[in-house]
């Protein structure tokens, strides 16, 4: 007798349920996707006991016809496609007709739906038993209630995690929907208490609804287009970081994705500003033409594959890093949310002037290297200490609005009238301030803070932080330009490695060499370091290589660049002028001129090098003005 059985619907549905219904969060995902597919503009989500006892999603979408109601519970029943050719043109989130039967097979599911106000019908399915359609009062739209999830699959039920964890997953899912559908209003109720709301009034409102209005004011609202790739959304400023990666959202062509190409591009763009264990905040929408993506239509797959990964990587990286670095091109499309609605603007394709870091000129090849060799991010910003190219210095002073208190352009373009003084001051501090030659050196406070007066503003520069930053930039620049002087070691440093470490290090040798470290294999299981960058002579090699090797595993997200940055920062710190040192006028002048007027810089540890005090602030302190 043959051994192949054709599975019955019940078994089939339960198997499908295993794929589709992973826990309460996936029920919420499927139901909300159905609501969005039905064109809903208002969606309410309620969960009780983390969704284990009840999940309800109701919407004001198209509704389901009375005759279609029983079909909604049948496997492969969908209104979204009817033939294989439709597969190529899918615009809806669902299309496999699997969700409702799968959910119903492991719960008690009730659908109440109306295609017209007051003409509602309901139907209940309990496990495999699909009930009768009966009329009821309902507004146009659909409401699906899922009770007793996994009641008939006790093993699955046991695998559900603690309420808090399951609830957190649902909340994360709802958050994704709110941010990704800013024109839809959402209401999310947990155990009878309102947890999140949005009013469908656009992205700013959605971001504020989820993360608080405070977050929005710490973000750039960006909208840029380059290489046919549009990048828009809210990205945290250079000073705004989060303790983990959960504040990073990416939507590709409107769909939430977990994509390492884009997230790596983002980390690279922020790496100069972020300290260790600081992660950026962003809600980023990347829109690309359909033929840029490898269509992979598994509905549960949250990743995508790009046809040209490097193009996506470099475009996202260039746009975001130039915004963070405050370059001219960025100023064209950065829109400060406080002041005006987002404007569409096109990224200029011309390379950025070297004085802005010039790294936007990194070749595509470089991006390939960076992307494909993800643990290494050899992006070193050129320091501000580099000689500006001919004509570039003009740009340096022109790019951000110069912060002259009496400059009318500045005031009006910043919309000063509409915003309070406090916000104005804070926001202006966030921008880079450029001081021209009208400065007056007033003196030093506590032999640490150099005071310069410019018009109605006073700039207090931390001499240690400023010098540290300059040294840091200088070292980084040498590395980037491969103009490092190597110092031969009297006694080479030899260290033993495991075979895995050996392979890992062998791959990194060219990179290490670029950075000024001459390292070679020494016997079978050791390496020998015989030259180090002159500027980093005092580097602790054991510590450096230990850290590098600890970053080998995927788990620890340490990159060679991170480590090197740390070391350069440490060395810079060691060699920098200390607070308390009395400087000569020439030293002060030299320090100031090396800064080239860029007062928005931070020391390598992220502290500001300059604090600005305005005359008005002082007058307020003395109650001369109120």
Range in contact with ligand ADP (rule: CB under 6 A) among 73-81, 184-192, 469-477, 484-492: 73-81
Q: Is 78 an interacting residue with respect to ligand ADP (CB under 6 A)? A: yes
What tokens does 451 get?
Answer: 């005071």
Indicate the residue whose CB is closest to Mg ion. 94
- Which is closer to ligand ADP, CB of 97 or CB of 551? 97
Q: Out of 99, 123, 203, 379, point to the residue binding ligand ADP (CB under 6 A).
A: 99
Whole-number Å distance between alpha carbons of 88 and 429: 50
Q: Is 358 an interacting residue with respect to ligand ADP (CB under 6 A)? A: no
Q: Is 339 an interacting residue with respect to ligand ADP (CB under 6 A)? A: no
| CA atoms within a 13 Å half-sphere pointing along the CA-CB vector of 604 | 28
Angle between helices 163-180 and 24-37 (to 10 degrees): 20
Range in contact with ligand ADP (rule: CB under 6 A) among 7-15, 88-96, 118-126, 542-550: 88-96
In the bound complex, what is the minimum distance in angstroms from residue 296's beta carbon to ligand ADP? 16
Of 27-66, binders to ligand ADP (CB under 6 A) are 30, 34-35, 37-38, 59, 61-64
Whole-number Å distance between alpha carbons of 197 and 179: 11
Max CA pair span of the chain:
101
Query: What kind and span of H or E run contains 581?
Result: none
In the bound complex, what is the minimum distance in angstroms from residue 59's beta carbon to ligand ADP? 5
Q: Give φ, ψ of 607 to 5 degrees.
A: -85, 150
Indicate the residue whose CB is closest to ligand ADP. 94
- CA distance readout (Å), 398 to 93, 109, 329, 410: 47, 63, 12, 12
Of 121-150, binders to ligand ADP (CB under 6 A) are 142
**Other CB atoms within 10 A of residue 192 CB:** 7
What tokens does 439 get?
Answer: 């400065």
In the bound complex, what is the minimum distance in angstroms from residue 184's beta carbon to ligand ADP? 13
Whole-number Å distance between alpha carbons of 154 and 471: 63
Q: Is 195 an interacting residue with respect to ligand ADP (CB under 6 A)? A: no
What tokens does 123 get?
Answer: 């139907």
In the bound complex, what is the minimum distance in angstroms from residue 41's beta carbon to ligand ADP? 13
Q: Give φ, ψ of 608 to 5 degrees.
A: -70, 150
Q: What is the DSSP code (8-state) at residue 4? A: -
Q: Is 79 an interacting residue with respect to ligand ADP (CB under 6 A)? A: yes
- Which is closer to ligand ADP, CB of 122 or CB of 221? 122
- Where residue 377 falls (left for φ over 0; alpha for ψ -120 to 50; beta otherwise) is beta
Instruction: Count residues binding ligand ADP (CB under 6 A).
Output: 23
- Which is closer to Mg ion, CB of 34 or CB of 321? 34
279 close to 231: Cβ distance less than 8 angstroms? no
Three-state DSSP class for residue 527: strand
Range in contact with ligand ADP (rule: CB under 6 A) among 93-101, 150-158, 350-358, 592-600: 93-101
Q: CA 501, 504, 509, 511: dihedral to nearest 10 degrees?
A: -130
SS3 of 177-232: the string is HHHHCCCCEEEEEECCEEEEEEECCCHHHHHHHHHCHHHHHCEEEEEEEECCEEEE
- Which is closer to Mg ion, CB of 173 or CB of 261? 173
Tell me which residues touch Mg ion (CB under 5 A).
Answer: 34, 94, 99
- Which is closer to Mg ion, CB of 92 or CB of 260? 92
Q: Is 112 an interacting residue with respect to ligand ADP (CB under 6 A)? A: no
Binding site partner of 357, from Mg ion, ligand ADP, none, Cβ cut-off 5-8 A by kind: none
In the bound complex, what is the minimum distance in angstroms from residue 17's beta carbon to ligand ADP? 11
- Which is closer to Mg ion, CB of 74 or CB of 275? 74
- Which is closer to ligand ADP, CB of 63 or CB of 383? 63
Of 302-331, binders to ligand ADP (CB under 6 A) are none
Of 378-397, binders to ligand ADP (CB under 6 A) are none
- Residues binding ligand ADP (CB under 6 A): 30, 34-35, 37-38, 59, 61-64, 72, 77-80, 94-100, 142
């Amino acid at each position: 007798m043959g051994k192949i059985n054709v599975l019955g619907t019940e078994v089939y549905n339960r198997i499908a349920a295993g794929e589709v219904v992973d826990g309460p969060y996936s029920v919420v995902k499927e139901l909300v996707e159905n609501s969005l597919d039905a064109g809903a503009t208002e969606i309410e989500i309620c969960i009780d006991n983390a969704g284990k006892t009840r999940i309800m999603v109701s919407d004001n979408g198209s509704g389901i016809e009375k005759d279609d109601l029983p079909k909604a519970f049948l496997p492969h029943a969908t209104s979204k496609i009817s033939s294989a050719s439709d597969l190529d043109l899918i615009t809806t989130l669902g299309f496999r007709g699997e969700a409702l039967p799968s959910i119903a097979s492991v719960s008690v599911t009730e659908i109440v739906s109306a295609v017209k106000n007051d003409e509602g019908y309901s139907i209940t399915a309990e496990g495999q038993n699909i009930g009768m359609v009966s009329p009821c009062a309902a507004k146009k739209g659909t409401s699906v209630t899922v009770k007793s999830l996994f009641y008939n699959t006790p093993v699955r039920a046991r695998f559900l995690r603690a309420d808090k964890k399951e609830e957190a997953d649902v909340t994360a899912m709802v958050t994704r929907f709110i941010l990704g559908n800013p024109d839809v209003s959402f209401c999310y109720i947990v155990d009878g208490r309102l947890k999140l709301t949005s009013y469908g009034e656009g992205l700013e409102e959605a971001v504020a609804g989820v993360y608080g209005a405070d977050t929005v004011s710490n973000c750039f609202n960006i909208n840029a287009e380059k290489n046919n790739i549009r990048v828009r959304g809210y990205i945290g400023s250079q000073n705004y970081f989060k303790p983990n990666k959960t504040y990073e959202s990416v939507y590709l062509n409107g769909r939430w994705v977990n994509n390492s190409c884009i997230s790596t591009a983002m980390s690279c763009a922020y790496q100069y500003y972020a300290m260790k264990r600081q992660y950026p905040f962003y809600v980023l929408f990347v829109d690309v033409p359909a033929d840029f993506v490898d269509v992979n239509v598994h509905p549960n797959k949250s990743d995508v594959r790009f046809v040209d990964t490097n193009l996506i990587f470099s475009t996202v990286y260039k746009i975001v890093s130039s915004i963070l670095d405050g370059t001219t091109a960025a100023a064209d499309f950065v829109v400060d949310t406080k002041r005006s609605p987002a404007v569409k603007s096109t990224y200029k394709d011309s390379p950025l002037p070297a004085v802005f870091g010039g790294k936007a000129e990194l070749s595509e090849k470089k991006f390939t290297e960076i992307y494909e060799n993800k643990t290494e991010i050899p992006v070193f910003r050129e320091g501000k200490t580099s000689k500006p190219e001919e004509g570039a210095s003009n740009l340096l002073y022109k790019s951000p609005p110069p912060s002259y208190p009496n400059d009318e352009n500045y005031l009006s373009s910043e919309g000063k009238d509409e915003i309070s003084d406090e916000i104005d001051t804070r926001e202006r501090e966030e921008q880079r301030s450029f001081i021209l030659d009208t400065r007056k050196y007033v003196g030093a406070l506590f032999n640490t803070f150099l005071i310069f007066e410019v018009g109605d503003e006073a700039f207090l520069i931390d001499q240690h932080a400023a010098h540290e930053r300059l040294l840091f930039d200088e070292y980084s620049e040498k590395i980037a330009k491969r103009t490092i002087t190597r110092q031969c070691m009297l006694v080479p440093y030899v260290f033993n490695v495991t075979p895995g470490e050996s392979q890992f290090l062998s791959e990194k040798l060219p990179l290490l060499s670029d950075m000024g470290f001459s390292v070679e294999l020494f016997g079978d299981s050791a390496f020998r370091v015989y030259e180090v960058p002159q500027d980093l002579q005092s580097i602790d090699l054991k510590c450096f290589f230990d850290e590098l090797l600890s970053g080998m595993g995927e788990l620890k997200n340490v990159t060679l660049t991170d480590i090197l940055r740390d070391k350069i920062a440490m060395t810079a710190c060691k060699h920098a002028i200390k607070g308390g040192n009395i400087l000569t006028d020439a030293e002060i002048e030299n320090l100031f001129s090396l800064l080239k007027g860029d007062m928005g810089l931070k020391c390598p540890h992220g502290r500001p090098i300059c604090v600005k005090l305005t005359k008005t602030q002082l007058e307020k302190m003395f109650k001369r003005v109120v």
